[in-house]
């Protein structure tokens, strides 16, 4: 198997000439704090045991409560690295549940976004979270507010 030497050299240069590694470590520290603090402040929810890092596409963790679980839903806190955007998703526990829920909604209030392809995306509805990521307390509060907004969509 061969790999792109130009991309590998670009990565090497970035590691050598920037604070990329330290910056990514700081992001992971922030995202773990967010997960742990939400778990502490939201005892009615059960959280995925750790964060998932997905090759710098998305980092995420999921959480659910009995009502969501009964309806085949979960919440996901996701960070889109390319767009540098924190989001909260309302997602199906699997594609079947996700498709079923996507069929029930034709629109959602902005800035929420309803999936156009429930069989291809990992969310039914996603909501961008506007916050100063350097302030952990404000970020936790903003995610909790997004959760409240998304839960209001449910019947």
| φ, ψ of residue 99 in degrees (nearest 5) | -65, -40
State the pLDDT at residue 72. Answer: 95
Check: CB of residue 31 under 8 Å from CB of residue 131: no
Checking if the pLDDT of 155 tops 90, the result is: no
Bigger pLDDT: 120 vs 127: 127
Checking if the pLDDT of 106 tops 90, the result is: no
Average pLDDT for 1-17: 96
**DSSP track, 5-72:** HHHHHHHHHHHHHSSHHHHHHHHHHHHHHHHHHHHHH-TTSEE-SS-EEETTTEEEEEEE-HHHHHTT
Q: Are strands 85-92 and 113-114 parallel, antiparallel or unpaired?
A: unpaired
Give Rg (Cα) of the chain. 17
* β-bridge mates for residue 75, sequence order: 63, 90
End-to-end CA distance of the chain: 51
State the pLDDT at residue 105. Answer: 85
* β-bridge mates for residue 126, sequence order: 89, 113
State the pLDDT at residue 27. Answer: 96
State the pLDDT at residue 123. Answer: 95
pLDDT tens, 35-72?
999 999 999 999 999 999 988 999 999 999 999 999 99
Checking if the pLDDT of 14 tops 90, the result is: yes
Check: CB of residue 61 under 8 Å from CB of residue 52: yes
Q: CA-CA-CA-CA torsion for 53, 59, 65, 67, nearest 10 degrees?
A: -120
107 band by pLDDT with thresholds 50, 70 and 90? confident
Check: CB of residue 139 under 8 Å from CB of residue 133: yes
């Amino acid at each position: 198997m061969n790999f792109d030497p130009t991309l590998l050299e670009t990565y090497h240069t970035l590691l050598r000439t920037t604070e990329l590694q330290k910056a990514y470590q700081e992001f992971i520290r922030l995202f773990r704090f967010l997960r742990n603090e939400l778990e502490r402040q939201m005892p009615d929810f059960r959280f995925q045991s750790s964060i998932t890092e997905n090759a710098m596409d998305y980092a995420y963790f999921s959480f659910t409560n009995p009502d969501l679980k009964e309806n085949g839903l979960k919440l996901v806190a996701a960070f889109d690295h390319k767009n540098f955007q924190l989001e909260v998703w309302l997602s199906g526990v699997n594609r079947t549940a996700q498709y079923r829920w996507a069929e029930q909604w034709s629109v959602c209030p902005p800035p929420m976004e309803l999936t156009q392809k429930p069989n291809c995306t990992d969310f039914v509805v996603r909501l961008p979270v506007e916050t100063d990521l350097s302030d952990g307390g404000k970020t936790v509060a903003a995610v909790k507010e997004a959760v409240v907004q998304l839960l209001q969509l449910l019947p």
